[in-house]
Amino acid sequence: MKIVYSDRHRSHDPQTFIHRGSLVKSPERPERADILLSSAVAAGHEAIEANRTGGLALTRVHTARYLDFLENGINEWIALPNAGPEIVPNTHPNRFASHYASHIIARAGFHQADTACPVGRGTWAAARSSVDIALNVGDLIARGQRHAYGLCRPPGHHACTEMAWGFCYLNNVAVLAESMRMSGAERVAILDIDIHHGNGTQQIFYERPDVLTVSVHADPDRFPVFFSGYADEFGSGAGEGFNVNLPLEHGSDDAAFVDAIAAGMRKVEDFGPDVLLIALGLDAYRGDPLSVFEVTTNGFRQAAETIGAFNEPIAILQEGGYPCPELGENLVAFLDAIDG
């Protein structure tokens, strides 16, 4: 399989991550991409460096003021007296806020949902390169590749229309879906199998019938992202019935994981998309530092076999999956099984 990557992800090396009140090392660090890329290449997959792409689909997914904040906000931030090297919000507008304030501290609170998505000098370049990867994968599919994989870092599925969240800044899979719709695909389906709910992707397409969003993830009542991902979220307006959440109990094993993915694939088949996009999280693995599941490497292999039976093209974009000894092995098991 062709593997699209970019070394520009290295410019994003977050130094701030607050976990349960403690400042700890972020699990979303450059090491992730190094492990995934080296493992895929060693297994015989072909690595291709991403070309830079235009931004039209990006501007249809994210607002202008949000893109400006990500690209230019760091310059205002570091000009503040005694400012740290990364934008980390210390105030958030509550549900009763009435204005979008202009101060960089206010905009940080508005555009960053949590402290897992600090913005540094190199964050914009890395996030933009992640979108480049996604769109290059789309180009491969358009040129006849049946399967292609994008090693997107930073990930994207938590990024909302104008909010960074959970390590994510730009919603790579949403931008790719939008680009494919703009290029003539009548229907696009997204299947997200990260252990965390794809809340940003859901928010972006929640009122649309042309993009089906399906997410298999851990029960969010006691697990991030907490505030969405429940089974009773179906979409609204024209999009009602085109959002599917399949939350699983904590401790779920291979059988439960694969069964839920099979149920999601039945929804995809019923929808009849021209292309299927997979938001691939490897953090359901039992040894992942963020996991609450008992999924094994073989579970990812079985999941890929279930997905790979789909008859239309499949574009795979990396989401979660954090440094552990088996991270690369899990990716290779998934990609090899997709390729059959």
Burial of 311 (0-12, 13-18, 19+ CB in 10 A): exposed
Would you say the C-alpha torsion 45, 48, 53, 55 has a positive or negative sign? positive
Please work out, in degrees rounded to the nearest 5, the angle formed at the alpha carbon of residue 4 by the alpha carbons of 47 and 269: 120
State which amino acid sits at residue 289.
P
Q: How do strand 18-19 and strand 147-150 relate by DSSP bridges?
A: unpaired
**pLDDT score of 254:** 98
Taking 3-state DSSP, the helix, strand and coil percentages for the chain, each rounded to the nearest 5, stand at: 40, 15, 45
Burial of 105 (0-12, 13-18, 19+ CB in 10 A): middle
Q: Supply the range of the domain harboring residue 110.
A: 2-339
**The total number of structural domains that make up the chain:** 1
Please work out, in degrees rounded to the nearest 5, the angle formed at the alpha carbon of residue 152 by the alpha carbons of 198 and 194: 30
Going by C-alpha positions, the residue among 334, 288, 52 that lies closest to residue 191 is: 334
CA distance 77 to 80: 6
| Catalytic residue (one of 12, 158, 196, 197) | 158
Contact 133, 87 (CB under 8 A): no
**pLDDT score of 192:** 99
Any idea of the CA torsion for 250, 165, 231, 202, to the nearest 10 degrees? Answer: -140
Contact 214, 191 (CB under 8 A): yes
**pLDDT score of 119:** 98
> Taking the model in full, what pTM does it have?
0.97
pLDDT along the chain (340 residues), means of 10: 98 92 93 98 98 97 98 98 96 89 96 97 98 98 98 98 98 98 98 98 98 98 97 98 98 98 98 98 98 98 98 98 98 95
HSE, side-chain direction, 13 A CA sphere, residue 126? 27
Q: CATH number of the domain that 47 lies in?
A: 3.40.800.20
CA distance 83 to 87: 9
Active site residue 158: yes
**pLDDT score of 315:** 98
